[in-house]
């Protein structure tokens, strides 16, 4: 059965430029006629050789997911794909989509998500394309898509009723088969192959160990229910907020101490009886790890995972190397040095880890923004990180806070924090960065807020595998004692600009490891303010989110 392809004339929209992780805009922008269609057509026009191939399609279930999926199914049929694997209900977490692409050797995938950004009619929507390796398309591809959106004059689709995505099934749109798959099964099977599920199950069965996983009303709910409470036998109720809602229950599905304050408070309350807490974000690729009255810094978490790799079945034979994004703390570098492993430093965003993972240069990767992952997929993976932690705790017989404190004793502590100034005027953000960049040549050797600056630059990266170059990836200010302040503008926001200030200071002395983070970093905060003139340029005295 063939269905007639129809060509609908269109004209370009300005600003369809993918950021750190795909194109993210307000729902009101995405739902304009032809907006989504133009972008999807630009992706398909940038591809070649997709005829008869398989596309993976799914999203985090946010508002507009259902509408967008039907549009993309029609356009995929018009573009000549042979098959689309779509998660039941249109659901696929970002790491699960990556796992499905890899397992079924798909040509690529489209993931609908704005990650941790709020959802609902007034919230955000997003879309990104992943390649056949399961990872986000590289900058070369996203630049080409953007270029195409600027000259697009039509999109192609077919006329067909909506596909019922509510049950596992196979239906045809013209010659293209739509396979509606269980969104959890392939992913759960993959995780089970990496970790010691028996030991984790034994830990979860102990009466003195109680865990809470907060799915934040976002996509990990069904995954966490199936894996933690299903396969691993954790008591019912371990997973909270486990039903994905289109507006995330009006919440902000960003697992940090501000937006996951309930979880942090529960773990700080001795009366709760909880010993371990975890959370994930809108699309399931981020993780938060919480001990008793102890929030594990994501940078520390990455370093702990690397240092304990020998305890995990999948990584016991050794890690090829590790990688972190530039603003992520250097705690990982200390582990790599001690264990004699290569450590790579990439720009912000998971797409830069893909070549290192594909080339077998890195096994574990991570970012300060609560994303960690490995070569099992090509995305960061929230539940993977949680299971990795549980596996460590099960083998070591310790709690998360003890594991981290022990890590600090062994490697020293990289005290770390990120300060976000959200929703500042775009012009103010641009001016702040431009003035900082202008000042760069004069900073080395100078003194600022009582601290001597050793070096300062704008981070640039040459991919060691494919030689591609990425410039202007963040201003770094380095001090003599290894402390750093990094400035960059977010590439995932949809309103104004968000300034991120990353602060790091190394503390070797074990007697000073318990110093409160913000207190230890106060001199660097003063330096950041002075050198970047944050208050006078942005009008903000304090950050909106401290993580
Ligand atoms: C942020 C994080 C970055 C992460 C990106 C996507 O980007 O800082 O580390 O890779 O979000 O994560 P930015 O440009 O806003 O700083 V997710 O979970 O939103 O896909
Ligand atoms: Co995310």
| Residue 451 CA neighbour count, 13 Å, CB half | 26
Interval between CA 331 and ligand 2 midpoint (Å): 23
Interval between CA 117 and ligand 2 midpoint (Å): 9
Interval between CA 31 and ligand 1 midpoint (Å): 23
| Spatial contact of 134 and 99, defined as CB atoms under 8 Å apart | yes
Known catalytic residue at 21:
no
- Asked if pLDDT for residue 168 goes beyond 60, the answer is yes
CA distance 547 to 540: 17
Across 365-378, average pLDDT: 97
Q: Give the nearest ligand 1 atom to 380 CA.
A: 18
CA distance 109 to 487: 32
CA distance 231 to 533: 52
CA distance 270 to 272: 5
- Asked if pLDDT for residue 2 goes beyond 70, the answer is no
| Spatial contact of 192 and 186, defined as CB atoms under 8 Å apart | no
Comparing CA positions, the residue from 417, 396, 418 lying closest to residue 304 is 396
400-411 helix and 382-396 helix, angle to the nearest 10 degrees: 80
What is the DSSP-derived secondary structure letter of residue 231?
Answer: I
CA distance 61 to 244: 7
pLDDT tens-digit series, residues 487-504: 999 988 888 899 999 999
Sign, CA dihedral 257-262-267-270, equals positive
Residue 545 CA: which ligand is closest? 1
CA distance 218 to 239: 12
Distances (CA, A) of 367 to 345, 371, 542: 10, 5, 24
pLDDT of 1 reads 55
Q: How many CB atoms lie within 10 A of CB 59?
A: 31
Distances (CA, A) of 422 to 101, 125, 489, 494: 34, 18, 10, 10
pLDDT of 494 reads 82
Q: Give the nearest ligand 1 atom to 285 CA.
A: 18
Domains and CATH numbers, the chain: 5-182 (3.40.120.10), 187-411 (3.40.120.10), 414-546 (3.30.310.50)
Q: Distance between the two ends of the chain, CA-based, in angstroms? A: 54
pLDDT of 441 reads 94
CA distance 497 to 519: 27
pLDDT tens-digit series, residues 322-356: 999 999 999 999 999 999 999 999 999 998 999 99
- Asked if pLDDT for residue 245 goes beyond 70, the answer is yes
Distances (CA, A) of 507 to 273, 414, 415, 456: 32, 6, 7, 21
CA distance 254 to 60: 13
Q: Edge-to-edge strands of the sheet including 364-367?
A: 342-346, 321-325, 364-367, 371-374
User: How does the average pLDDT of the chain come out, rounded?
Assistant: 96
Instruction: Tell me how far the alpha carbon of residue 198 is from its chain's centroid.
Output: 28
CA distance 216 to 121: 18
- Asked if pLDDT for residue 268 goes beyond 90, the answer is yes
Give, using CA atoms, the residue closest to atom 19 of ligand 1.
Answer: 115
Sign, CA dihedral 226-228-234-238, equals negative
Give, using CA atoms, the residue closest to atom 17 of ligand 1.
Answer: 115
Across 25-35, average pLDDT: 97
Distances (CA, A) of 6 to 38, 54, 78, 370: 14, 21, 8, 44
Residue 60 CA: which ligand is closest? 2
- Asked if pLDDT for residue 517 goes beyond 70, the answer is yes
- Report the residue among 111, 287, 351, 369 best suited for mutation to probe ligand 1: largest number of ligand atoms under 8 A from its CB: 369
Q: Give the nearest ligand 1 atom to 94 CA.
A: 20
Could you tell me which residues are beta bridge partners of residue 85?
56, 179
Q: How many CB atoms lie within 10 A of CB 206?
A: 11
- Report the residue among 116, 371, 373, 383 best suited for mutation to probe ligand 1: largest number of ligand atoms under 8 A from its CB: 371
Give, using CA atoms, the residue closest to atom 11 of ligand 1.
Answer: 492
Of residues 115, 299, 301, 547, which has the active-site annotation? Answer: 115
Could you tell me which residues are beta bridge partners of residue 519?
none
CA distance 346 to 366: 10
Q: Give the nearest ligand 1 atom to 283 CA.
A: 18
pLDDT tens-digit series, residues 275-321: 999 999 999 999 999 999 999 999 999 999 999 999 999 999 999 99
Across 475-485, average pLDDT: 94
What is the DSSP-derived secondary structure letter of residue 249?
Answer: G
Where does the pLDDT of residue 93 fall: very low under 50, low under 70, confident under 90, or very high at 90 and above? very high
Across 45-69, average pLDDT: 97
pLDDT tens-digit series, residues 120-156: 999 999 999 999 999 999 989 999 999 999 999 999 9
């Amino acid at each position: 059965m063939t269905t007639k392809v129809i060509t609908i004339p269109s004209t370009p929209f300005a600003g369809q430029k993918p950021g750190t992780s795909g194109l993210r805009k307000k729902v009101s922008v995405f739902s304009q006629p032809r907006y989504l269609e133009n972008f999807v057509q630009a992706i398909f026009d940038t591809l070649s050789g997709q005829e008869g191939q398989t596309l993976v399609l799914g999203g985090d279930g946010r508002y507009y997911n259902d509408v967008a999926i039907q549009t993309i199914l029609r356009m995929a049929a018009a573009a000549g794909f042979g098959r689309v694997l779509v998660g039941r209900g249109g659901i696929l977490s970002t790491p699960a989509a990556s796992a499905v692409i890899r397992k079924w050797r798909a040509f690529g995938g489209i993931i609908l998500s704005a990650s941790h950004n709020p959802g609902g009619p007034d919230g955000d929507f997003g879309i990104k394309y992943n390649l056949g390796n399961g990872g986000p398309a590289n900058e070369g591809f996203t630049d080409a898509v953007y270029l195409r959106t600027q000259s697009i004059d039509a999109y192609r689709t077919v006329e067909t009723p909506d596909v019922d995505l509510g049950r596992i099934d196979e239906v045809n749109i013209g010659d293209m088969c739509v396979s509606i798959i269980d969104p959890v099964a392939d992913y759960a099977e993959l995780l089970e192959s990496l970790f010691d599920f028996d030991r984790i199950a034994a830990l979860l069965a102990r009466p003195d160990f109680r865990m809470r996983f907060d799915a934040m009303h976002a996509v990990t709910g069904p995954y966490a229910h199936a894996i933690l409470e299903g396969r691993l036998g954790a008591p019912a109720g371990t997973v909270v907020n486990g039903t994905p809602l289109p507006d995330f229950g009006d919440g902000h599905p960003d697992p940090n101490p501000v937006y996951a304050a309930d979880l942090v408070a529960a773990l700080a309350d001795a009366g709760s009886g909880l010993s371990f807490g975890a959370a994930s974000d809108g699309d399931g690729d981020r993780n938060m790890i919480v001990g008793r009255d102890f929030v594990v810094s994501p940078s520390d978490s990455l370093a702990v995972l690397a240092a304990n790799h020998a305890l995990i079945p999948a990584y016991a034979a050794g890690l090829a190397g590790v990688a972190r994004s530039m603003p992520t703390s250097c705690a990982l570098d200390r582990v790599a040095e001690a264990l004699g492993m290569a450590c790579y430093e990439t720009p912000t965003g998971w797409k830069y880890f893909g070549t290192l993972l594909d080339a077998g240069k890195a096994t574990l990767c991570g970012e300060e923004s609560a994303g960690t992952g490995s070569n099992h997929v090509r995305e960061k993976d929230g539940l993977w990180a949680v299971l990795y932690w549980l596996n460590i705790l099960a083998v070591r017989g310790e709690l998360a806070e003890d594991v981290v404190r022990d890590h600090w004793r062994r490697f020293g502590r990289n005290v770390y924090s990120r300060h976000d100034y959200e929703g500042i005027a775009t012009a103010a953000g641009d001016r702040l960065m431009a003035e900082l960049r202008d000042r760069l040549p004069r900073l080395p050797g100078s003194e600022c807020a009582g601290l001597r600056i050793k070096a300062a630059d704008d981070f640039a990266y040459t991919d060691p595998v494919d030689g591609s170059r990425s410039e202007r990836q963040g201003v770094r200010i380095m001090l003599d004692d290894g402390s750093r302040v990094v400035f960059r503008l977010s590439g995932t926001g949809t309103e104004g600009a968000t300034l991120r200030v990353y602060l790091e200071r190394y503390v070797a002395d074990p007697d000073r490891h318990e110093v409160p983070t913000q207190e230890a970093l106060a001199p660097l905060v003063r330096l950041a303010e002075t050198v970047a003139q944050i208050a006078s340029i942005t009008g903000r005295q304090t950050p909106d989110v401290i993580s």
